[in-house]
Every structure is written in C-alpha cells, then in structure tokens.
C-alpha cells in the first residue's frame, strides 16, 4: 500500500468516535496519507473508499488481501506479482481487471490513484502504554522467534537446477541479487531460508518484533551502539544456508 503525492499529514492517536472512512485511515497510525484521500485542502475524496494496491500475493500476501477485502471501506485497485499464476488468482479474488495486474512493482508505484497506510491500532496502543510507563522502567527486552526452518513443499535445499516455469519472471524475482540457477526450492515461501535473500527468522518474524520493540522503547531515532551474535548454527549443505538458531544482543546507549 503506497501514498502518491499530495499534502502529507501525520495524525495523532484518535479519540473514540463512530467509524468512518476518515477514521479508518486514522486508526492505523502512525501513517501518512494524501490530502486527496481525506478530501482536505480542496482535494476531492474519490469514492469514499481506501484504494489499495497489493504487491506480492503469494501465501501471506493473499492472506492480507482477504483480510483487507473483508472491510467494505477498502477497494483493491491493482495487483502485482512476478508469478503470473499468483497474480491471476489474486486478481480474480479481488475483482481487479487484467489491465491493473502487474509483474513490475515500479509500474504500481507510478500510479496516482493508490492510498497508503501502515501499522495497526493494537501495536500502537501497546507501544503507547510502554512508552508512558505502564510497565515501569525498561531495562531489557527479550524477543523470541521460531528455530527450525518451516520449509514447505517437501524440499531439502539440495535440489538440482531446473527450467524456469513460463509463469515466473525469474529475473525480476531475483532483483539485485546475484544470478543463480533456478530451482523451485529457491523461490516463493522458502526464499527466507537463504542468507542472500532473507537470512532466516531474524528477517522474517524478527523484522516485525524488532521494529515493535524499538518503537515501544522510544528508540526510533537511534540505533544500537553494539551488536553481538553468539550460538549461531547453520545447515552444513544445500542452498538453505541462513542461521537456523542464534542469539543476538543489541546494546543501546541508555
């Protein structure tokens, strides 16, 4: 979901009021929306709905799409995925016409009819409470993520190269990563077990939890002064070379 141009505004935590399109946007703070989305500063609110584009509609992407479609205030206007089978299935689900289905995310970013938001109210409320002292002084935050890889499809990471299927734009899927022989074991869900793409659970679940911890601790404007990693264990063979277990410690200046 993206914001395109306009007069950008940041909204504080809302008070309790009846749900409206404007309130729907505001209860997802912190986020930025265009004035056109809210019909402010002379801009016209387009059709009373929040217009979303979904980039990446595999397993998690389609799950997110279904959740968004359950809200009558949302209109999905574009679908993007390098796998045309994924894109076609999601477009059919959301009722998006063929002309608004893309392989290249940059074409979606170029559209001027898409609104953008991020985060959720439950996370916002939890962070607000911590930052306002509800649990006392913070001294240490401990975050846990799963250990053993949840590999899907019965793959082992030892599969031999194979022909790229016609429905997949493999070059776009690789993006800036080094060119590597195609194997189905490398793509889609299981990419997260490959160090070069997304090194395991630390950038899968961990990316969400670490962000919330940093936000809740009021440390968004700074970074750790020291990072150390111990107890790192990896598989001895195959393409799934991300760390499968580890302990990482971040030290801050406070």
Domain ranges in the chain are: 47-110, 121-251
pTM of the model: 0.63
Q: Average pLDDT over the chain, rounded to whole?
A: 79
User: Quick one: what percent of the chain has pLDDT higher than 90?
Assistant: 37
According to the model, what pLDDT value does residue 14 have? 36
Q: Annotate the chain with three-state secondary structure.
A: CCCCCCCCEECCCCCCCCCCHHHHHHCCCCCEECHHHHCCCCCCCCCCCEEEEEECCCHHHHHHHHHHHCCCCEEEEEEECCEHHHHHHHHHHHCCCHHHEECCHHHHHCCCCCCCCCCCHHHHHHHHHHHCCCCCCCCCCCCCCCCCCCCCCCCCCCCCCCCCCCCECHHHHHCCCCCCCCCHHHCHHHHHHCCCCCCHHHCCHHHHHHHHHHHHCCCCCCCCCEEEEEEEEECCCCCCCCEEEEEEEEECCC
According to the model, what pLDDT value does residue 27 have? 41
CATH fold of the domain at 47-110: Rossmann fold (3.40.50)
According to the model, what pLDDT value does residue 116 have? 61
According to the model, what pLDDT value does residue 47 have? 58
According to the model, what pLDDT value does residue 202 have? 85
Taking only the tens of pLDDT, the chain with its 254 residues reads: 222 222 222 233 333 334 444 444 444 333 233 444 444 444 434 557 888 899 999 888 898 899 888 888 888 999 999 999 999 999 999 999 999 999 999 999 888 888 864 556 678 888 888 889 888 988 888 888 887 899 999 999 999 999 999 999 999 999 999 999 999 999 999 999 999 998 888 888 888 888 888 888 888 888 889 999 899 999 888 999 999 888 889 888 87
């Amino acid at each position: 979901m993206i914001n395109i141009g306009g007069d950008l505004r940041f909204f504080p935590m809302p008070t309790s009021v009846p749900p409206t399109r404007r309130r729907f946007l505001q209860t997802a703070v912190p986020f930025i929306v265009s004035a056109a989305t809210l019909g402010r500063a002379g801009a016209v609110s387009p059709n009373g709905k929040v217009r979303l584009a979904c980039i990446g509609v595999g397993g998690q992407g389609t799950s997110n799409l279904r959740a968004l479609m359950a809200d009558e205030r949302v209109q999905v206007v574009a679908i993007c995925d390098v796998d045309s089978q994924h894109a076609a299935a999601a477009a059919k689900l959301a009722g998006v016409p063929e002309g608004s289905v893309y392989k290249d995310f940059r074409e979606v970013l170029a559209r001027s009819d898409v609104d953008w938001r991020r985060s959720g109210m439950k996370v916002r409320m939890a962070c607000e409470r911590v930052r306002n002292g509800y649990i006392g002084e913070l001294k240490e935050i401990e975050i846990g993520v799963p250990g053993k890889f949840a590999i899907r499809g019965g793959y082992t990471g030892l599969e031999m190269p194979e022909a790229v299927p016609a429905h997949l734009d493999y070059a776009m899927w690789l993006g800036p990563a080094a060119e590597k022989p195609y194997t189905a074991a490398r793509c889609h869900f299981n990419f997260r077990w490959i160090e070069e793409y997304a090194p395991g659970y630390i950038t899968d679940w961990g990316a969400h939890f670490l962000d919330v911890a940093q936000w809740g601790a009021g440390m968004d404007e700074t970074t750790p002064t020291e990072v150390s990693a111990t107890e790192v264990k990896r598989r001895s063979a195959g393409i799934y070379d991300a760390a499968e277990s580890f302990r990482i410690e971040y030290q801050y200046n406070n």
